[in-house]
Amino acid sequence: MKIKSLLLFLLLGGIASPVFALPGAFNANYSVSKSGLTLGEMRVSLTYGQNTYAYHKATKATGLASWLSGDRVIENVEGKINRDVLRPGSYIFHHTSKRKNRKDQLQFVTPRLVKGEYKKQAYQIQVPQGTLDRATLELVLARDLAHHKKNMVYSVVERGKLKTYRFAHQGTEKIPVGDKEYQAEKLMVVREGTVRKTTFWLAPELGYMPVKINHIEKGDAIVTHLKWFQSIKPGSVTSLPHSEVMHRNK
């Protein structure tokens, strides 16, 4: 009787993710700092519908940085789920400030055809099966870590081009978040011919979502660090941190 009850619980949505290996639905907040100085905050949410997912990130400058730059970044993707495969549909990355207004917007017309616009220039790319956008990449990486995948190489459409992302496992580290410590998997983006360096710390306890991201470029270190994380219970209604209206896949 207990086994039947457990199966019924899972089938009715007793877990927040429709597939065990995917991160569960959540809201989270991160601080963003540069060379030790706080620049702003990032709000993140992941939600699921009937065979769909929506992953939204909104970053804004705060304090003095807000007065000086007015930086805001919106990154959203919505797509479909087929078993444990994420199929991105609409994606947008929009960076605005007092000096710039840059947008990268794309649509997966089919799994092998992407149409988009970057810097007001339209583009169309034939891509390999399984190609991702930058936001969905984070979710697929989490899924593959849960599956203990070793070869983490991904095709990604970014700024109107098809790129390859490779990740190298660097062991585990404990990352403090408030009065708690998370045991995290440390992964580094493998890049050749560049001094840029990006490292992720992904916590199994949080479905392998980031607790810390460190990006080094031109001698500056930009650190994104988790402040709080809240799982979303199945059936609950939450507000999403985005201001762009996106069309769901048909």
**Which pLDDT tens digit goes with each residue over 126-161?**
999 999 999 999 999 999 999 999 899 999 999 999
Lowest mean pLDDT among 127-141, 142-156, 164-178, 236-250: 236-250
Backbone torsions φ then ψ of 240, nearest 5 degrees: -105, 140
% of the chain exceeding 70 in pLDDT: 82
Q: Provide the pLDDT confidence category of residue 237 given band limits of 50, 70 and 90.
A: very low
Q: What is the mean pLDDT of the chain?
A: 85
| Position 67 pLDDT exceeds 80 | no
Cα four-point dihedral sign 188, 190, 191, 195: positive
Nearest of 118, 93, 127 to residue 246 by alpha carbon: 93
Rounded mean pLDDT, 51-61: 95
70 Rama class: left (phi>0) / alpha (psi -120 to 50) / beta? left
Q: What percent of the chain has pLDDT over 90?
A: 67
pLDDT value at position 51? 93
- Which residue has better confidence, 99 or 235? 99
Q: Is 234:16 a contact under the CB 8 Å cutoff?
A: yes
DSSP at 159: T
pLDDT at 8: 33
Give the other-Cβ count within 10 Å of 172's Cβ.
Answer: 13
Report residue 137 as tokens.
């990449």
- Model confidence at 245: pLDDT above 60: no
For 176, other C-beta atoms within 10 Å of its C-beta total 12
Q: How many CB atoms lie within 10 A of CB 12?
A: 9
CATH number for the domain whose boundaries are 17-231: 2.50.20
Q: Are 204 and 194 in contact (CB under 8 A)?
A: no
Contact 138, 91 (CB under 8 A): no
What per-residue confidence (pLDDT) applies to 141? 97
What's residue 17's pLDDT?
54
Could you tell me which residue, 63 or 53, shows the higher pLDDT? 53
Is residue 199 predicted with pLDDT exceeding 80?
Answer: yes
The confidence band for 65, taking pLDDT boundaries of 50, 70 and 90, is low
pTM of the model as a whole: 0.84
| 171: Cβ contacts below 8 Å, ≥ 6 apart | 186
**Structure-token match 């991105």, residue found:** 88
DSSP string, 35-90: TTEEEEEEEEEEEE-SSEEEEEEEEEE-HHHHHHT--EEEEEEEEEEETTEEEEEE
Q: Which residue has the tokens 């290996």?
A: 21
In this predicted structure, which of 6-10, 16-20, 137-141, 177-181 has the lowest mean pLDDT? 6-10
Q: Are strands 220-231 and 37-48 parallel, antiparallel or unpaired?
A: unpaired
Beta-bridge partners for 161: 158
> Tell me, what amino acid is at 105?
Q
pLDDT at residue 250 tops 50: no
- Nearest one of 115, 139, 152 to 52, comparing CA atoms: 139
Confidence of residue 15 (pLDDT cuts 50, 70, 90): very low
pLDDT at 2 over 80: no
